[in-house]
Amino acid sequence: MTRLLALFAVLLSFALPAQAQRLISGVSNDTVQITSSFDGERLTFFGTIAPEAGATEQTVSGPFQVVIVVLGPTQDRVAREKTNNFGIWLNTEQVEFRRFPSYFHVLSNKRLLEISDIATLNANYILPESYAMAPNPAGFMKTLNFGRELIRLMSEDGLFGVQETGVQFMSDTFYTAQLTLPSSAPPGPYIAQTYLFKNGELIARKSEGFAVRKIDFERFLAQSATQYPLLYGIACVILALFTGWLGGVIFKR
Partner 1 sequence: MQIYLPIAELSVNLFFLVGIGGAVGFLSGLFGVGGGFLLTPLLIFSGVPTAVAVASVTGQVVAASTSGALSHYRRGGIDLHLAMYLVLSGVLGAFGGVATFAVLRDAGQLDLFISLGFLILLGFVGILMLQEAVRALLKHRQGIVVRERLPNQHSWIHGLPWRVRFKKSRLYISVLPVLAIGLFIGFVGSLLGIGGGFIMVPALVYLLRVPGNVVIGTSLAQVVAMMSATTILHAVQSQSVDILLAFCLMVGGVAGAQFGAAAGKNLRGEQLRGLLALLILAVAIRFGLSLVLAPADPFSMAVTR
Residue 54 touching partner 1 (CB under 8 A): no
Q: What angle do CA 96, 99, 100 make, to 5 degrees?
A: 75
**Contact with partner 1 (CB under 8 A) among 60, 69, 79, 179:** 79
Per the CB < 8 A criterion, the answer to whether 83 and 93 are in contact is yes
**Contact with partner 1 (CB under 8 A) among 15, 76, 119, 135:** 76
Cα–Cα distance for residue pair 238/233, rounded to 1 Å: 9
Per the CB < 8 A criterion, the answer to whether 72 and 184 are in contact is no
Residue 3 touching partner 1 (CB under 8 A): no
- Among positions 114-153, residues that touch partner 1 (CB under 8 A) are 146, 149-150, 152-153
Tell me how far, at minimum, the Cβ of 224 lies from partner 1, in Å.
9
The identity of residue 177, as a single letter, is A
Residue 247 touching partner 1 (CB under 8 A): yes
Q: Which 3-state string (H, E, C) describes 68-93?
A: EEEECCEEEEEEEEEEEECCEEEEEE
**Contact with partner 1 (CB under 8 A) among 2, 13, 37, 58:** 37
Tell me how far, at minimum, the Cβ of 104 lies from partner 1, in Å.
14
**Contact with partner 1 (CB under 8 A) among 38, 50, 120, 174:** 38
Which range touches partner 1 (CB under 8 A), out of 56-64, 122-130, 173-181, 231-239? 231-239
**Contact with partner 1 (CB under 8 A) among 23, 32, 34, 127:** 34
Residue 81 touching partner 1 (CB under 8 A): yes
Cα 61 to Cα 17, 19, 30, 196, 199, distances in angstroms? 16, 11, 31, 13, 12
Residue 80 touching partner 1 (CB under 8 A): yes
| Residue (of 191, 207, 23) closest to 105 by Cα position | 191
> Which alpha helices (DSSP H) does the chain contain, by range?
2-15, 112-115, 118-123, 140-156, 216-227, 229-250
Per the CB < 8 A criterion, the answer to whether 198 and 65 are in contact is yes
**Contact with partner 1 (CB under 8 A) among 13, 58, 84, 171:** 84
How many chain residues interact with partner 1 (CB under 8 A)? Answer: 60
Residue 241 touching partner 1 (CB under 8 A): yes
- Among positions 189-208, residues that touch partner 1 (CB under 8 A) are none
Q: In what order do the strands lie in the sheet with 167-169?
A: 21-27, 41-51, 174-181, 167-169
Enumerate binding residues for partner 1 (CB under 8 A).
34-39, 75-84, 87-91, 94, 96, 102, 146, 149-150, 152-154, 183-184, 186-187, 214, 218-219, 221-222, 225-226, 229-230, 232-237, 239-241, 243-248, 251, 253
